[in-house]
Amino acid sequence: MAADTITLNDPTPVLGASGAATGTLPGKHARTAKNVGWYVLLSLLSLVVLFPVWMTLVRALSTPVAYVNEGLPLYPVSVEWDIFSRAFSEGELGRRMWLSAIVTFIIAAAQLITSILCAYAFAFLRFPFKRLVFVVFMATLMLPIEVTLIPNVTTIRNLGWLNSYEGLTVPFLATAFGIFLIRQGFMGIPKDLLDAAKLDGYGHFAFMTRVAVPVTRPVVASFGVIALLAAWNQYLWPRAVVTVSEWETVQIGLKSVAASNVEESNIGFAAAIIAALPVLLLLIFLQRQLIRGLTAGAVKG
């Protein structure tokens, strides 16, 4: 498939292309100018995005009083390098990040499994009211967590799941977004492949695990990354179902750290940076997967 795309995009008329390039120099200049424009715009946008990150780093490294006295500059003042290790121990970040990691893993793994199964049914199986059911599933995407928060918390409390793994994970074991994304990927698989697999002696489950998922690996992987990020960064829900400090995930922990260190606000900033590190690493290593998956449906390969 990849090779198909390459052949299609191959700039075959090389002669024509180079001829055009040498023949129309003004066109080339216009293109360069346009590119410069884009890069300026992108640089500005990057600055806007990176500014809060930089400022968090500045506030984390600066001694709070000195920083305020200096007049809140854009650079660190009287740097405290040990702030990160202090934040890590005082904020009990090791324990909290471990809890967050477990919760995140459970949610992401479950979302992957349920989304793949459900997307497969919508893409390849025939059953009554399929369209209607799909629309209802998609409609849940319209509901922000704030709308469902109170009834869900009530349910979790009635089940006795406050301060537990169940309470932190069960409401997120399936997601319409994942179903939609993976279904789109599956819809791109030619029906002939399913027919061929049937004749080769495979049922639906084997086709799903051995053909459908491997073929749509970029989409599935990117959804996995998205699910990991979203689960790790959850704030509102854990805040609602956790009432004791032992069950605080790292994002809730940040709040506690900041609240209990009002004098030393830099500990809060340092803890925030530590909590963001896993996400940052994930993004750095998997950004290709992420982008490939999100654009896979856009250009059919």
List contacts with other proteins (CB under 8 A): 1-4, 190, 192-193, 195-203, 206, 211, 214-215, 217
Closest separation in Å from C-beta 189 to other proteins: 9
Cβ of residue 289: shortest distance to other proteins, in angstroms?
15
Closer by beta carbon to other proteins, 74 or else 131: 131
Contact residues for 188 (Cβ-Cβ < 8 A; gap 6+): 216, 296, 297, 300
295: which 2 tokens?
Answer: 């654009």
Of 192 and 263, the one with the shorter C-beta distance to other proteins is 192
Token pair recorded at residue 249: 């995930």
Q: Give the shortest CB-212-to-other proteins separation in angstroms.
A: 10
The total number of residues shown for the chain amounts to 301
To other proteins, the closest distance from the beta carbon of 291 in angstroms equals: 20
Nearest CA to 110 out of 172, 183, 182 is that of: 172
Residue 282, Cα to own-chain centre: how many angstroms?
A: 9
List, in order, residues 6 or more apart from 283 with CB less than 8 Å away.
Answer: 225, 229, 290
The backbone torsions φ and ψ at residue 216, rounded to the nearest 5 degrees and listed phi first, read -105, 25
Residue with tokens 């449906």: 297
For the CB of residue 38, give the shortest distance to other proteins in the complex, in Å: 32
In the chain, the largest separation of any two C-alpha atoms, in whole Å, equals: 77
How crowded is residue 164: how many other Cβ atoms within 10 Å of its Cβ? Answer: 15
Q: How far is CA 276 from CA 12, 62, 287, 289, in A?
A: 46, 19, 16, 20
Could you tell me the sign of the dihedral formed by the alpha carbons of 281, 282, 288, 294, in that order?
negative
Q: How far is the CB of 199 from other proteins (least distance, A)?
A: 5
Give the shortest CB-210-to-other proteins separation in angstroms.
8
